[in-house]
Amino acid sequence: MSDELINILDYSIQRELAEGGMAQVYLAEQIGINGFTKRVAIKIIKQELSKQQEFLDNFIGEAKLVADLVHTNIAQTYHLGESQGQYFIVMEYIRGINLQELSEQLYHKQMKLPIELAVFITSRVARALTYAHNKRGSFDQMLGIVHRDISFRNIMVSFEGDVKLMDFGIAKALGYLRNQEGKVLAGKPDYMSPEQAQFKITDARSDLFSTGVVLSSLVLGYNIFYDEKPEKARKNVIRAKLPDFMKIDSRIDKRLDTILRKCLARDLMKRYQSAEELLHDLELYIYGSGYGPTNETLAEFIGRCFGQIPLPNVVISKGDTIPVSHATDWTPTLKKR
């Protein structure tokens, strides 16, 4: 990115945070008067794509769509701008990690995510989807938002325990983004719904299947549909037999098994019909007794997992690994809701 762009935007670019197919994301400081600074994330469309009208329209459409999605579990968008032919979105900076990074850290430290926290994280995604799926436009018309890219990399957890749904770049919504559904395959193959993987028209229930993939992956520690070959992963989503979750992991009880299977039902009429319905079952599962995990519970676990809070009576060995015999028996502190 050019120095001229940095100066015009009044941002001090710190470092690159991520790079995707369409854009790059940077950590930056917004510079104001009298020493005012604010950390933000800046998403900049790649220069070679900014000249392609389809990509540019979707980039602008994403910004316009997300700017009006104001919810605690959705990353906020502050500004859409353009300078010297480069388009950019200024977004909330989330000091934390995405679920892919959390998964890799758990594997590295031979840790398992407690069931309660897996369900808690998923419930926050369901909250975000409940809001997005029901969002109405300025004329009270249903926008028909479908995220279409619910996956580990697009869900972040802050070090304070907030769960944030990210990246509506390939979402479809009335009047905001160009949609070539049925012609172009969008999304990550091992997180797609069967209808998405078969180039069919999707509705909100597609996101609920993908949310089920997220939940099962959080619990099991791996994606049941994953394959190194994207085409094979897509075929797995369409027809691979679901595993016996309760046999794979003894922590999974009948209630959670039922939730997983209802999320992952290939028959649309047997799947959850709304994010509200899924949210109800997830929250009943973790709060049914009156006690359950909170943001602080999740923050504590993330802190232990990433070394911000030392695990009690565990000596970190060379290579920063934790013996599984110690690490897997950590139990979250549950609080009355």
182 pLDDT more than 60: no
313 pLDDT more than 60: no
pLDDT of res. 333: 59
Distance CA 197, CA 191 (A): 9
- Within 10 angstroms of residue 231's Cβ, the number of other Cβ atoms is 10
Q: 115-119, 183-187, 228-232, 236-240: which has the minimum mean pLDDT?
A: 183-187
pTM: predicted TM-score of the whole model, two decimal places? 0.87
Average of per-residue pLDDT across 299-322: 58
- To the nearest whole number, what is the mean pLDDT of the chain? 85
Torsion of the alpha carbons at 170, 222, 249 and 264, rounded to the nearest 10: 30
Average of per-residue pLDDT across 26-39: 89
Average of per-residue pLDDT across 213-225: 97
Query: Which amino acid is residue 239, in one-letter code?
Result: R
Structure tokens at 151: 């996956």
If pLDDT is split at 50, 70 and 90, which confidence band does 328 have? very low
If pLDDT is split at 50, 70 and 90, which confidence band does 168 have? confident
Q: 57-66, 161-170, 194-203, 237-246: which has the minimum mean pLDDT?
A: 57-66
pLDDT of res. 167: 86
Average of per-residue pLDDT across 8-32: 83
User: Residues 6 or more apart from 199 whose CB is under 8 A from it?
Assistant: 181, 182, 183, 185
Compare 179 and 50 and report the one with higher pLDDT. Answer: 50
Residue 149 among the catalytic residues: yes
Average of per-residue pLDDT across 84-109: 91
pLDDT of res. 322: 30
16 pLDDT more than 70: yes
pLDDT of res. 239: 95
179 pLDDT more than 90: no
- Catalytic site residue from 149, 190, 207, 281: 149
Counted residue by residue, the chain has a size of: 337
- Where helices occur in 187-294 by DSSP H, the ranges are 194-197, 204-220, 230-239, 245-248, 254-263, 275-287
Q: 63-67, 227-231, 272-276, 288-292: which has the minimum mean pLDDT?
A: 63-67
Helices (H) and strands (E) in the chain, counts: 13, 10
Mapping DSSP to helix (H, G, I), strand (E, B) and coil, where does residue 77 land?
strand
Which tens digit of pLDDT belongs to each residue from 54-83?
A: 778 888 887 888 888 999 999 998 988 887
316 pLDDT more than 60: no
332 pLDDT more than 80: no
172 pLDDT more than 90: no
User: Of 161, 75, 73, whose CA–CA distance to 124 is shortest?
Assistant: 73
Compare 316 and 75 and report the one with higher pLDDT. Answer: 75
pLDDT of res. 230: 94
309 pLDDT more than 70: no
Domains in the chain (CATH in brackets) are 7-92 (3.30.200.20), 96-292 (1.10.510.10)
Compare 35 and 242 and report the one with higher pLDDT. Answer: 242
